[in-house]
A and B are shown apart, each in its own frame.
Chain A
Amino acid sequence: MKKLLLLGDEAIAQGALDAGISGAYGYPGTPSTEIVEYIQRNKEAIEKDIHRTWSANEKTALEETLGMSYAGKRVIVTMKHVGLNVAADPYMNSALTGANGGVIVAVADDPSMHSSQNEQDSRYYAKFALMPAFEPSDQQEAYEMPFLAFDISEKYHLPVMMRVTTRLSHSRAGVDRREILKENEKHLPENPNQFMLLPAFARKKFKHLLAIQDDLVKESENSPFNKYTDGKDRSLGIIACGLAFNYLMENYEEGKCPYPVLKISQYPIPRKQVEKIISECDEILVLEEGMPLVEEMLTGFLGNKKIKGRMDGSLPRDGELNPQIVRKALKLPELPSLEIPQIVAGRPPALCVGCPHADTYKALKVLINKYGQGHVFSDIGCYTLGFLPPYQAINTCVDMGASISMAVGAADAGLFPAIATIGDSTFGHSGMTPLLDAVISKANIVVLILDNEITAMTGMQESQVNGRIENICIGVGVEKEHIHVINPLPRNHEDNVKIIQEEINYNGVSVIIPRRPCIHVHGKKKK
């Protein structure tokens, strides 16, 4: 069969489809979005009617995943690294309930924060939860891992993690397909109490989870994805995790590294091979994309001078790896290269010309000029760019939904006015519950729900609250007279300023919904 040219994300999706999933759940987030998007437009997935619509947020997505697993089916759930924080409650508990149908939790990390508000390494979550994790080094492995991952998940009745990082998520290469597996038949868990975490059951389940750890280590030791390659020169041994393996090989002609190399792509870390490389080599260099998880485990609290990596300064402590950083750590001579000429100016992203958010911020800016800076709590989406000149309209961006909750807290502390700006998709993700808090505590806030009718930031996904925002606000308890829909257009500027001013004057919860589609909505709208 001809090779498929796939992004790392798409390879995971194709692998999951071919390994027999019945559903893919998730909430968009760079760099994970393309996994579900691929399944949404894949012909075979559509024919089989694999579940593939976006969920309201990562927590609901993971719980829906557990439901599908409960019913016996194989299922994948996808999110970006910070999405796993949102889904952490069901994630941690799913290590105790375990899985019935196989479960893959696919998480895409974004070291160097190309489009994220922090950098975190999801392998720590896998370790925390005592769950196996898979970390592909290339697109072919990204395709093949779901097969083994589902087998392990079903063998141990335990969800497993697949962790990728930006560069693999968004890099394309040829992938060979394998034979396609059938979907599981629907079947309930053999043990009817499997998903019942009453303390009496949970204690037993936790002991069981601890008891199978040795078996999971053995799986890693025998994994086709963990490879030990011997080398003549034992002055150094290299442990390379996931994608870092490629940056290592890149620095040697045809990948012929003179040192012993242990490639780790399946966790918990394979004890046998780690013991071998440490006992046979004088020094160990650990290459990891993300945080120094393996390195920290090997050095321990008291330290171990033999172990080099991100903690001793051989590699930078933060940010993603690349071939030249790894080259330096290998003490190879730098390739001759030039500097960026001084004349080159930065070109930060900006709101598109004609963006509805721009007109909203222009109106809001009039009031900011009146009351002074420091009153606008914002959130995550295209509209976060309203921080930059010429708008300079917002003061915070923390995590999805925090605009409303922070405005509530600040209003409680006496800040006036306290204004929140939040996108429609972000509101659906995590804005409804803090709005309920606001109503209950009668907080004096103005919430602007910037409704561009789409999830724009992550590439135009359907917004779950589309067409429902007013009713949601009424349902939560916001007074009808203090819910306004405005059209953010230059010709409405004066009117819009006036409405915002009136609602600032109202002592209570006000919601203003500036509604105009993102200029890229037409034609691009996807399911």
Chain B
Amino acid sequence: MKKDIILAGVGGQGILSIATIIGYAAIESGLNLKQAEVHGMSQRGGDVQSHLRISDKEIFSDLIPHGGADLILSVEPMEALRYMPYLAENGWFITNTTPFVNIPDYPDTNKLMDEIKSIKNNVAINADQIAKDLGSSRSMNMVMLGAASLFLDIPYDKLEEGIKFIFGRKGEKVVESNLKAMKAGKDFAEKNKT
């Protein structure tokens, strides 16, 4: 078993919590893990990415090679496309569709969606909307984690434990709303894998 995942987004969108939960679940499942993340300069509203590698064998490189990612998981549509060179031939491309516009030359969103829809294995999901409908707009990233959970080869209950582990300090309510968000993302992806 080997899963190489590129996590992408904009500084402050919560991709590191996704990485932490998957990482926790992987370790609890007895797997090896390497997770390279970006610190520093790029956190001021710039693009951020994390390379997350899980395997039952020894993992060498901290970085995923070009053409090697089983999954691109992005909380922002344009950021998802930025990491296309990493996607493996049969890899899955899973992205939130809500743009995060903080630059003047942000591309036309219809064209962006055309580009995304042209990718072989894609799941495009309006995670901001789903999170809002659930009354917890801040758990958009958990909706995305839920959508990705179908492709991770990690038991779902381990991810649930991961959420309890990292949000536990913030109380029962926060844990519940994040669990719900993850479930909603999973349900959506089950219906909409193309």
Q: Which positions in A face B, CB cutoff 8 Å?
A: 3, 5, 30-31, 33-34, 114-115, 167-168, 170-174, 243, 246-247, 249-251, 254-255, 322-324, 327, 334-341, 343-352, 382, 385, 457-459
CB–CB B37/A336 < 8 A: no
CB–CB A337/B87 < 8 A: yes
Q: Closest chain A residue to B10 by CB distance?
A: A347
Please give the distance in Å from A361's CB to the nearest CB on chain B.
15
Q: Does residue B155 face the partner (Cβ distance < 8 Å to A)?
A: no
Name the B residues within 8 Å of A324 (CB-CB). Answer: 65-67
CB–CB A343/B107 < 8 A: yes
CB–CB B81/A340 < 8 A: yes
| CB-CB under 8 A for A343 and B115, given A170-B38, A254-B57 | yes
Name the B residues within 8 Å of A115 (CB-CB). Answer: 39-42
CB–CB B85/A171 < 8 A: no
Interface residues as binary, B32-62 with A (CB distance below 8 Å gives 1, 0 otherwise)? 1111111111111111000100000111111
Stretch at the interface among B98-106, B124-132, B135-143, B167-175: B98-106
CB–CB B85/A338 < 8 A: yes
Name the A residues within 8 Å of B191 (CB-CB). Answer: none
Among A170, A323, A341, A349, contact of B68 (Cβ-Cβ < 8 Å) = A323
| CB-CB under 8 A for A382 and B44, given A5-B33, A173-B34, A345-B107 | yes
Name the A residues within 8 Å of B27 (CB-CB). Answer: 3, 5, 174
Name the A residues within 8 Å of B51 (CB-CB). Answer: 171
Among B57, B63, B65, B112, contact of A167 (Cβ-Cβ < 8 Å) = B63
Among A3, A34, A343, A350, contact of B112 (Cβ-Cβ < 8 Å) = A343
CB–CB B66/A250 < 8 A: no
Most chain B beta-carbon neighbours within 10 Å: one of A255, A338, A350:
A338
| CB-CB under 8 A for A350 and B45, given A172-B23, A254-B57 | yes
CB–CB A341/B81 < 8 A: yes
CB–CB A344/B81 < 8 A: yes
8 pairs of A and B residues whose beta carbons are closest in the complex: A335-B67, A337-B67, A349-B46, A115-B41, A30-B40, A323-B65, A115-B40, A171-B62
Name the A residues within 8 Å of B108 (CB-CB). Answer: 343
CB–CB A337/B37 < 8 A: no
Name the A residues within 8 Å of B59 (CB-CB). Answer: 173
Report the separation of the CA atoms of residues A344 and B111 in the bound assembly, to the nearest whole angstrom. Answer: 11
CB–CB A339/B84 < 8 A: yes
| 16 A-B pairs whose Cβ atoms sit less than 8 Å apart in the complex | A30-B39, A30-B41, A115-B39, A170-B36, A171-B34, A172-B37, A250-B60, A338-B87, A339-B85, A340-B84, A347-B46, A347-B102, A348-B103, A349-B11, A349-B44, A349-B46
Q: Closest chain A residue to B79 by CB distance?
A: A347
Q: Closest chain B residue to A350 by CB distance?
A: B45
Name the B residues within 8 Å of A171 (CB-CB). Answer: 34-37, 51, 62
CB–CB A335/B58 < 8 A: no
Name the A residues within 8 Å of B78 (CB-CB). Answer: 343-345, 347
Q: Does residue B89 face the partner (Cβ distance < 8 Å to A)?
A: yes
Name the B residues within 8 Å of A170 (CB-CB). Answer: 36-39
Please give the distance in Å from A176's CB to the nearest CB on chain B.
12
CB–CB B40/A343 < 8 A: no
Report the separation of the CA atoms of residues A255 and B59 in the bound assembly, to the nearest whole angstrom. Answer: 9
| CB-CB under 8 A for A255 and B62, given A31-B39, A336-B89 | no
CB–CB B38/A114 < 8 A: yes
Report the separation of the CA atoms of residues A327 and B106 in the bound assembly, to the nearest whole angstrom. Answer: 34
Q: Closest chain B residue to A7 by CB distance?
A: B37
Chain B interface size band reads 35 or more
CB–CB A114/B85 < 8 A: no
Name the A residues within 8 Å of B89 (CB-CB). Answer: 336
Name the A residues within 8 Å of B81 (CB-CB). Answer: 340-341, 343-344
Please give the distance in Å from A375's CB to the nearest CB on chain B.
25
Q: Closest chain B residue to A323 by CB distance?
A: B65
CB–CB A341/B47 < 8 A: no
Q: Closest chain B residue to A31 by CB distance?
A: B39
Report the separation of the CA atoms of residues A114 and B36 in the bound assembly, to the nearest whole angstrom. Answer: 14
Report the separation of the CA atoms of residues A351 and B34 in the bound assembly, to the nearest whole angstrom. Answer: 31
Name the A residues within 8 Å of B60 (CB-CB). Answer: 246-247, 249-250, 255
Q: Does residue B92 face the partner (Cβ distance < 8 Å to A)?
A: no
Please give the distance in Å from A344's CB to the nearest CB on chain B.
5
Please give the distance in Å from A257's CB to the nearest CB on chain B.
11
CB–CB A246/B115 < 8 A: no
Most chain B beta-carbon neighbours within 10 Å: one of A170, A249, A327, A459:
A170
Please give the distance in Å from A20's CB to the nearest CB on chain B.
28
Q: Closest chain B residue to A172 by CB distance?
A: B35
Among A167, A335, A340, A344, contact of B107 (Cβ-Cβ < 8 Å) = A344
CB–CB B32/A174 < 8 A: yes
CB–CB A340/B40 < 8 A: no
Q: Does residue B188 face the partner (Cβ distance < 8 Å to A)?
A: no
Q: Closest chain B residue to A247 by CB distance?
A: B61
CB–CB A347/B47 < 8 A: yes
Name the B residues within 8 Å of A246 (CB-CB). Answer: 60-62
Name the A residues within 8 Å of B64 (CB-CB). Answer: 323
Report the separation of the CA atoms of residues A344 and B57 in the bound assembly, to the nearest whole angstrom. Answer: 35
CB–CB B107/A31 < 8 A: no
Among B34, B45, B86, contact of A352 (Cβ-Cβ < 8 Å) = B45
Report the separation of the CA atoms of residues A382 and B81 in the bound assembly, to the nearest whole angstrom. Answer: 28
Q: Does residue B117 face the partner (Cβ distance < 8 Å to A)?
A: no
Name the A residues within 8 Å of B67 (CB-CB). Answer: 324, 334-337
CB–CB A250/B47 < 8 A: no
Among A255, A337, A350, contact of B46 (Cβ-Cβ < 8 Å) = A350
CB–CB A168/B85 < 8 A: no
Report the separation of the CA atoms of residues A341 and B107 in the bound assembly, to the nearest whole angstrom. Answer: 11
Q: Does residue B193 face the partner (Cβ distance < 8 Å to A)?
A: no
CB–CB A172/B42 < 8 A: no
